Structure 1
Amino acid sequence: MDQKKEDLSKSFEEFQSKMDLFSSILEKFGLDIITKMGQTNLKITQLTDKINALDKATIDIKSMIPQLSNVIENQKFLEDELDLIKSLLKNMGQISSKKKEVENSVDRDETATIKKDIILSQFNDLRENLEALEDPIVVKPILEQVKEDIFEFTGGHRILYEISQVVIRLNSASSLNDLMDEQDTTSKTIKDHLMEKITFWNNKLMVKD
């Protein structure tokens, strides 16, 4: 009888020990589950916060779309304005260049006009004084100067050749009353020839721009 009690007591102790072990294992397992559930809940919470933040950022971006559109439109407007300014500056440069060309052209025209007036004045003065002149040496430097002025004014003209022919004749003449062509007795005198030629030369120069 005592042996049975002792065996029963041992069995109970073993059972109790196993139950304690099972309870310990179950408790540990439960704690692990609770811990993992807590960690999972924390991660879910963090993920939820991130999703909410992302939603808020998306909403903020959507709210900025009209502003971004305005920025893009303003940028396009500024680009158009810059293109307009560049075009205006380019046109101003072209206008300035053309203005300078016109001014240079006007200056050249004024210079040419002045030169032509000087030549005409020299011819007219010579024609007025020819009646009182006799010495070819007096006339020669006047014609030489006129010839240089005509060359500067025209760059080349038949008048230059005709004046040169008169100057050559003056080199051998003793008087302005000598014949222009020594071989032709019907030839006009140097003085008359010059009077006639000066009128002709003036007319030629008057139509020369």
Structure 2
Amino acid sequence: MRATACALLRHEVRLHMSLWLWVARRRHGTDGGQAFGYARGQGATMFAFAFVCVVETLAMFVLLRDWPIVHWVVLVLDVYTIEFVIGLHAASVVRPHVLNSRSLRVRYAAHVDLDIPLEEIATVRRELRTTHRRAEGELDLAIGSQTTVTLKLTEPVAHFTFLGRRRDIRLVRFHADDADTLVRSLRAVMRERTAPPPPPVRPA
């Protein structure tokens, strides 16, 4: 119970930090790396959901005005729901995937932050998938019900779920708005790491 409460608290803190970063037009954890967004495909859906929540909040505000206690309880819950929905989208925007010379950091809003060393990536391919079945050793991070990049790993990478349960992952599927560029950039960095060093220059 205590672990669950701590996980929920950490998630709330990340959402509020993401809202501030989004307003300030800044991103989290991208220094020294190349950022790849993934939130474009869900933006319209999230804002439509937030709009529905606003309409519901206004309707309940009017309908419950004669019951003060219930009125304020429902109002607080409705406002929190709107903030939560916008916070989820903000977290997706300010926490992109990040590629640097050592690793690929695959993220999903405030829920997932998986740092994969490049030497543990066996293959990377551009692959559009719209259906995903939960399987042991696989992690699917779909946006709008689709993933566009698939990573096969040489060794399992530890991933901890929202409530802290460990899963050993060998295959990762995730979405990127510009999946082609991400795949090309990742392959280029991997080639640079495995390229043999230039021969020594002999003195004349």
* Alignment TM-score > 0.5, same fold: no
Larger Rg: 1
TM-score range, shorter chain: under 0.3
TM-score, length-scaled by structure 2 = 0.23
Q: Give the structure with the higher percent strand.
A: 2
